[in-house]
Chain A
């Protein structure tokens, strides 16, 4: 493989139920910086059924120089093999040096299959991406070992350099409708051998679960709260603040709440305006999921808890006793207005 034959930054623009997902724009925002640094084009690949010109235009407005549309009736619903075939074909046709894919439950299924097919490396759940000065290699930084350390990974001799990036980690660009770009269509054949599974039922549970990634205020509980009863008391506090309750991995592992509320490396990455951490010690795997929050308040009775190193405001006290006091203070403050 001659790695200098591979140029450009490709972004897989994830689309569900006919809608391009936010992660696609976040990847374009980040990929734009990498592409500019390399002075190479930024290519968005959109896979689906019945793709519209407006979707391509939006990808260009959000940073793409080129949009590759792979449109086929069998690509309407995500299925591993047809999507793998589509993305592998785009890689073969355009030979990008870098491919970014969202670390969603779709991207984390698709990316490894594509990387194995393309015989190249893949780095999961990157939180930092940069270009190395002398080699022009991609530096892919991710939390490792349960999130306790960070590792910078390189893929020096294989192309494309592939990585997945979690939703919410990168920022999209300010959209610019006057940005110019090219739209190309790539044909694909999908035969019975490619439809190697049969989807019997598609269930979309829209809006059933409130999404902690969208919340502007998160009241987050950790193992330090001691028991599920104390954890449930966060609901009232979240209600007063107009926010949602989230949790550390330990709390989810203990079964006090569901995984959809887990913040951290194996949970969700959040960046609310206010992150209130109650009884959370602050292991790096948790920090990785919330450190970009606008304002972080930590409450923990252990003064040496690592969370205080990341907090804008720290209160060393018993979080279980603080919660009702804070609910009361907030009610008084509201009444005074």
Chain B
């Protein structure tokens, strides 16, 4: 079985701060990580490999430094890593990103394509389902459990909703988008780290995939950012620097005034 895991290297956004003077993002010193949902998707793929045998390929689109995320995936146990990196891919929205990734997937044998539900820097949850559409594959998103059926021709997944879940059987080939709480990703092993440097992270450029240049990068993106800004704060209320007891009294007074209690 061939499994391809799509991953994104993201800045650890829980660490991102706004510069209070310039109002811009402080990116310096922010560590990059494998996007958490994607990492759980990789773990799920590696568990299938442990259980039933599979070749696990990790695929990422990004700048050259995204190689680091792919090395980590190799050290966790992935067999092959491909980085799609070309200036022509830059500035892509989800539509263009998914058509680029789909073009790469057409060159890779895949019985199962695994993505994370969403990346923590964009939070769109769009790329996985859009890849599936470009490839004409069925997909199931919001997957919190995955098991391969005995004959190896289909998977059964638990698909989460706000108010419950579905158990769904889907035949291979298919695409799944995974939630980070579906498992606890393994750590890189010492041997794995060592081995990962013996493995090659292949870099594919535009010339290596078969895609219409009109469908990639900024030019191939239906949407674009017109403007970005930091949010203006609404007029702040009164702030009291007091001891806890006094603070509690002030709160209760206000709640009475507002008829909340």
Partner-B contacts on A (CB < 8 A) = 16, 77-78, 80-81, 84, 104-106, 108-109, 111-113, 115-117, 119-125, 139-140, 143-158, 196-206, 217, 241, 249-250, 253, 259-260, 265-266, 273-274, 276, 284-285, 287-288, 291, 295-297, 299, 303, 306, 308-318, 321-322, 325-326, 328-330, 333-334
9 closest pairs, A vs B, by CB? A146-B13, A121-B222, A314-B239, A121-B223, A116-B133, A321-B244, A309-B233, A325-B248, A312-B237
Does A155 contact B222, Cβ atoms closer than 8 Å? Answer: yes
State A153–B18 Cα separation when bound (angstroms). Answer: 21
Does B164 contact A152, Cβ atoms closer than 8 Å? Answer: no
Does B121 contact A145, Cβ atoms closer than 8 Å? Answer: yes
Contact partner, B18, options A144, A198, A199, A284, Cβ 8 Å: A284
Residues on the B chain within 8 Å of A105, using CB:
141-142, 160-162
Residues 115-129 of chain B, each 1 if its beta carbon lies under 8 Å from chain A, else 0:
000101111111111
Does A326 contact B18, Cβ atoms closer than 8 Å? Answer: no
A89 to chain B, nearest CB (A): 15
State A217–B261 Cα separation when bound (angstroms). Answer: 11
Residues 88-100 of chain B, each 1 if its beta carbon lies under 8 Å from chain A, else 0:
0000011100100
Residues on the A chain within 8 Å of B52, using CB:
none
Residues on the A chain within 8 Å of B174, using CB:
197
Does A204 contact B163, Cβ atoms closer than 8 Å? Answer: yes
Partner-A contacts on B (CB < 8 A) = 13-14, 16-18, 25, 93-95, 98, 118, 120-130, 132-134, 138-142, 156, 160-171, 174, 181, 221-231, 233-234, 236-252, 254-256, 258, 260-261
Interface of B: prevailing SS: mixed
Contact partner, A202, options B164, B221, B258, Cβ 8 Å: B164
State A158–B128 Cα separation when bound (angstroms). Answer: 21
State A147–B124 Cα separation when bound (angstroms). Answer: 12
Assuming A201-B166, A322-B244, A330-B261, is B123 touching A81 (CB within 8 A)?
Answer: no
Assuming A145-B25, A146-B16, A313-B238, is B120 touching A266 (CB within 8 A)?
Answer: yes
Does A200 contact B156, Cβ atoms closer than 8 Å? Answer: yes
Residues on the A chain within 8 Å of B120, using CB:
146, 266
A260 to chain B, nearest CB (A): 8
Assuming A121-B95, A152-B226, A316-B240, is B170 touching A217 (CB within 8 A)?
Answer: no
Does A155 contact B223, Cβ atoms closer than 8 Å? Answer: yes
A229 to chain B, nearest CB (A): 17
Does A315 contact B250, Cβ atoms closer than 8 Å? Answer: yes
Residues on the A chain within 8 Å of B156, using CB:
200
Residues on the B chain within 8 Å of A111, using CB:
126
Does B244 contact A317, Cβ atoms closer than 8 Å? Answer: yes
B230 to chain A, nearest CB (A): 6
Residues on the A chain within 8 Å of B243, using CB:
317
Does A291 contact B234, Cβ atoms closer than 8 Å? Answer: yes
Residues on the B chain within 8 Å of A259, using CB:
181
Does A154 contact B226, Cβ atoms closer than 8 Å? Answer: yes
B215 to chain A, nearest CB (A): 9
B232 to chain A, nearest CB (A): 9
Residues on the B chain within 8 Å of A78, using CB:
161
Residues on the B chain within 8 Å of A200, using CB:
156, 166-169
B34 to chain A, nearest CB (A): 15
